[in-house]
């Protein structure tokens, strides 16, 4: 599959995180000639925070993690790509339990300290041996992740992704970092989607605080993106804090929050830039709404509109579609107070096309890869930004052939 034209030029040189060990392996579950299993082993001091899909049909691994996220420690993470282990009945839960037990036995852990994630096709049962038969190889391959291993891990969790996703940020002027990998390309929508993100730091943070940091950062990043408005059964964001640096959150609270936000937003943007069939990265900013919740709903309505997304793909400044999407959002808006910009070009105000509007300037902006759409509702102080991509024939081609 061709790499997205919106992909970054290279995978970042992600630093090692104290106490973290990675390994990858190939199970052949769905893909040939590539890694599709990822294992992270963590020290006894590690805490975890997590946010999961809001789908009412969650996968077995999601249920497993949700039941254990408030535990005292997290010692291992095991992820497979190719099968979501969702809607697989009791067999799916047996697979989860079996995998957790094998990892626990191998590293002398409690199964409740093992976190699991799966991504891929929904509704296809499989035997746990497809994964567990490769645990010894994973254990033999464990080591501190150098930049190459970070990239291998990011590649191992891909499905329809066209490039591996990684990001890191230094925590203030300390020697500690936040670093992570993610996957996601389609079935991406606010409320999370078929995306996975695994983030690591060596700060010492309590589970309660790490959970709060994770939830706040996810809301500003992974819950503010959409590719196709479809929310998956499997999405999982896990943030692990090993405590190995000896640095406490107490002296790095603000810097950690900034770094975590940077990493999550950086990964979220890469997911949008790898949207299935995408050729344009679109930032939609709404201001002047009744409140922030209303602003986000309006921005999501614009971002999820197939008519808006196809107009951007065609580089067609059909701003009436943006008006339509604002009007259908179900939030307070007044036609004559609404203002809309494409790039820097004011296209509509006072209930009509702007007197200064020049379509050639709007079209010139749409000819680029990074697109800005701004909406000012004009009735309050609410604001929000959502990121999405255009909708092309490529999206249909990829999804029509996903299981073939």
Catalytic residues: 194
SS3 assignment, position 277: coil
Nearest to 303 by CA among 327, 283, 274: 283
Q: Is-contact 213 255, C-beta < 8 A?
A: no
Could you give the C-alpha distances from 326 to 85, 150, 286, in angstroms and in order?
37, 41, 10
Compute the distance between CA of residue 377 and CA of residue 400 in angstroms, rounded to an integer.
Answer: 38
Sign for the pseudo-dihedral over CA of 386, 307, 281, 377: negative
Compute the distance between CA of residue 272 and CA of residue 326 in angstroms, rounded to an integer.
Answer: 21
Q: Is-contact 340 348, C-beta < 8 A?
A: yes
Compute the distance between CA of residue 399 and CA of residue 402 in angstroms, rounded to an integer.
Answer: 5
What is the token pair recorded at 187?
């079935």
The 8-class DSSP code of residue 289 comes to E
What is the token pair recorded at 161?
């992704």
Q: What is the DSSP string of 174-232?
A: SS-EEEEEEE-SSS--SS--S-EEEEEE-SB--HHHHHHHHHHHHHHTGGGB-SSSPPP
Compute the distance between CA of residue 322 and CA of residue 375 in angstroms, rounded to an integer.
Answer: 9
């Amino acid at each position: 599959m061709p790499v997205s034209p919106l992909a970054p030029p290279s995978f970042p040189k992600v630093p090692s995180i104290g106490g973290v060990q990675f390994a990858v392996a190939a199970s052949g579950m769905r893909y040939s000639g590539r890694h599709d299993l990822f294992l992270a082993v963590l020290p006894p001091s590690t805490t975890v925070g997590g946010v999961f899909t809001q789908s009412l049909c969650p996968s077995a691994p999601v249920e497993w993690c949700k039941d254990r996220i408030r535990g005292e420690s997290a010692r291992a993470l095991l992820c497979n790509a190719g099968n979501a282990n969702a809607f697989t009945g009791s067999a799916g839960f047996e697979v989860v339990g079996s995998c957790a037990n094998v990892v626990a036995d191998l590293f002398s852990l409690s199964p409740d300290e093992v976190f699991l994630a799966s991504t891929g096709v929904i509704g296809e049962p499989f035997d746990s041996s497809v994964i567990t038969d490769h645990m010894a190889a994973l254990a033999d391959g464990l080591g501190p992740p150098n930049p190459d291993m970070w990239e291998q891990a990011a590649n191992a969790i891909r499905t329809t992704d066209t490039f591996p996703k990684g990001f890191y940020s230094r925590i203030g002027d300390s020697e500690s970092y936040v670093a992570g990998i993610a996957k996601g390309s389609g079935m991406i929508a606010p409320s999370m989607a078929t995306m996975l993100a695994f983030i690591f730091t060596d700060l010492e943070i309590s589970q309660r605080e790490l959970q709060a940091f994770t939830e706040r950062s996810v809301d500003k990043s992974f819950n503010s993106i959409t590719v196709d408005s479809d929310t998956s059964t499997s999405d999982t964001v896990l943030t692990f804090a090993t405590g190995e640096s000896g640095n406490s959150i107490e002296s790095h609270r603000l810097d950690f929050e900034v770094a975590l936000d940077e990493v999550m937003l950086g990964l979220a943007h890469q997911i949008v830039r790898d949207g299935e069939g995408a050729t344009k990265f679109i930032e939609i900013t709404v201001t002047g709404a009744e409140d922030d919740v209303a602003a986000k709903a309006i921005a999501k309505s614009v971002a999820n509109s197939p008519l808006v997304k196809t107009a951007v793909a065609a580089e067609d400044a059909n701003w009436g579609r943006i008006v339509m999407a604002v009007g259908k959002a179900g939030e307070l808006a007044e036609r004559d107070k609404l203002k809309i910009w494409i790039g820097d070009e004011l296209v509509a105000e006072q209930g009509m096309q702007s007197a200064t509007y020049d379509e050639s300037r709007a079209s010139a902006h749409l000819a680029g890869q990074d697109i800005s759409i701004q909406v000012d509702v004009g009735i309050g102080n609410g604001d929000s930004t959502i990121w999405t991509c255009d909708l092309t024939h490529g999206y249909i081609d990829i999804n029509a052939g996903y299981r073939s």
